[in-house]
Amino acid sequence: MNTLRIFFRTCWFQYRAMFNWATPIGYLSYKFLQPIGQILFFTELGIFATGRSNALYFALGNALQLTAINGIFGVVMSVGNERQFGTLPILLGSPANRLVTFLGRAFVHVIDGIAGVAVGLALALVMFQIDLSHANLGLLAICVCIISLSTAGLGLMFGSLSLIMRDVFVIANGVYYLLLVFCGINIPVSRLPEWAQLISTGLPLTRGVQATREVVSGAGLAQVSGLLAGELAIGLVYALIGYSMFRWLEHQARRGGLQEAY
Amino acid sequence: MTAYVRAAARAFEMSMKLRAVNPFTNFGWLVFPLIFVVLGLALLGGGGKSAYAILGGGLLGYWGMAYVEGGNEIQNERWSGTLEQIMGCPTPLVVIVVGKLCSSLVFGALSFFPAIAVGYFAFHQSVQNIDPVPFAVSFLVLTFAFFCMAVTLAPLYAMWRWAFSVTNGFEIGVYVLGGFMFPISQLPAWLQVVASVFAPTWAVRALYAATGQPFGRQYALWWAVSIALSCGYLVIGWFLYRLVDVRARATGQLALA
């Protein structure tokens, strides 16, 4: 019971700390202005490059990638801010369960990431009339949940690096934009060079976005279950690597008294 | 006047030094344009459209440095607890902002180097058919437009900390309105109207026209509109700086705004 209490309190407080200071206007700008800008820019760029008939490809891909605002920026900064605000030694000194504290950094961002994709899909629907008439909406929702989870897994891994890096926001930015290149958001994975395809298979979003595209085209669970299982597994692997790194770096920091010295 | 120039020069010098060792700045001018050039060239391919990918990547970096980094500087002063000292000192805020923004523009202009380099070495693409004089003038007009927009936006960052979140959130939207990587003529009509009050849009159109894009050659008109709009921003900015000054003193909540 105590563990659950810590989990939910961690979730709630880190989320408030992340967004509440900026007032609801700041939060809403990331929830609406950024999705509008991203979907509009990349879809219009795609239309300029390939014609209006491909608008759905770009609009859908970018709507799904919006989960990375939470999964990457949100989660990485949730861990990274502890260092910036000087609370990292207190966190590391607390007796709280590390796994619970660690996963608590991501939980609300997963929920908020799902909400972000819902906003993105609604905007894509309004701005570019994407056709969801063939889609199984329940399955589409499952795809979005899994994408949000797997992206947060990657965010947790990079968030762990904040224990030894001062400018983790740079990493979050880089990862966010590289996902736009490698994950089949704007460029089909099959059109990437072989080395880039290899990278894309190891990233979250790649399989999830492909599965979602198939679901929107009318595919059922049986056709996309393999992709979704792979997406979930990728996210889990990243989260595990992140947790292991977090524990190892914490151990190193404790031994050397280096919590804020990197 | 000499004192103001000296203060702006010191702000510029300090800002240059801080930016040179700031990983986020170096990401902004070096890595960020690269990602967009790669994306742009992968989508647009060779031929006449490659100019949009190469120059477009540079423009994104330039704009990002000018206004996001410019705004971030004010936000950083707030985080560092030095915003009140800047507002309280005898030198007007605008003088400090001008110094900082000049440094942003210098780093922003560097964005074109990695953009051109990756286009040439990785994709064997370059910007061709450049009409040098209109291109150079258009670039100067664009720089003036970026400068004026950033100067005008800066007091908003000082007045409300959420202002940076809003402008940062809409950063990619600005790429659309500016026509940085595709012509705005393909946008819906209502969005073209919005884009037309955006000073950089006209300068960017002139810039691309100078690389052979089929926009016509009405350079003088485009430059004039861009400069007129930029001057209009400065007038708005003058009122905003006065408002910030009065408001900060009246409420005493600058750091918490």
Phi, psi (rounded to 5 degrees) for A186: -115, -25
* Average of per-residue pLDDT values in chain A: 89
User: Considering all CA atoms of chain B, what is the largest pairwise distance in Å, rounded to the nearest integer?
Assistant: 58
For an interface test with A, give the residue of B22, B27, B52 to mutate (most A CBs within 10 A). B27
CB contact under 8 A, B172 and A37: yes
Between A86 and B204, name the one with better pLDDT.
B204
pLDDT digits over A157-206, tens only?
A: 998 887 777 778 888 999 999 999 999 999 999 999 999 999 999 999 99
- DSSP readout, A111-169? HHHHHHHHHHHHHHHHHH----TTS-HHHHHHHHHHHHHHHHHHHHHHHHGGGT-S-HH
The alpha carbons of chain B give a radius of gyration, in whole angstroms, of: 19
User: Within 13 Å, how many C-alpha atoms sit on residue A176's CB side?
Assistant: 21
Q: How confident is residue A261, by pLDDT bands cut at 50, 70 and 90?
A: low
Q: Is the dihedral of CA A230, A232, A235, A239 positive or negative?
A: negative
Q: Which residue of B has its CA nearest to A189?
A: B42
> Could you tell me where the DSSP H helices lie in chain A?
2-19, 23-28, 34-50, 55-65, 67-68, 75-84, 88-93, 98-128, 137-160, 168-182, 194-201, 206-216, 221-256
Which of A225-234, B80-89, B210-219, B248-257 shows the lowest per-residue confidence on average (mean pLDDT)? B248-257
Asked if A150 and A208 touch (Cβ cutoff 8 Å), the reply is yes
A258's tokens: 């280096």
Mean pLDDT of A126-144: 93
CB contact under 8 A, B183 and A48: yes
Between A72 and A257, name the one with better pLDDT.
A72
Identify the pLDDT of residue B257: 58
Rounded CA separation A58/A210 (Å): 12
Measure CB to CB from residue A177 to each of B32, B42, B183 and give the nearest one: B32
| Neighboring chain B residues of A178 at a CB cutoff of 8 Å | 35
pLDDT > 90 in chain A, percent = 58
Q: How confident is residue A22, by pLDDT bands cut at 50, 70 and 90?
A: low
Is the pLDDT at A262 greater than 60? The verdict is: no
Identify the pLDDT of residue B24: 87
Identify the pLDDT of residue A6: 80
Query: Nearest CA of chain A to the CA of B23: how many Å?
Result: 7
pLDDT digits over A32-53, tens only?
A: 899 999 999 999 999 999 999 9
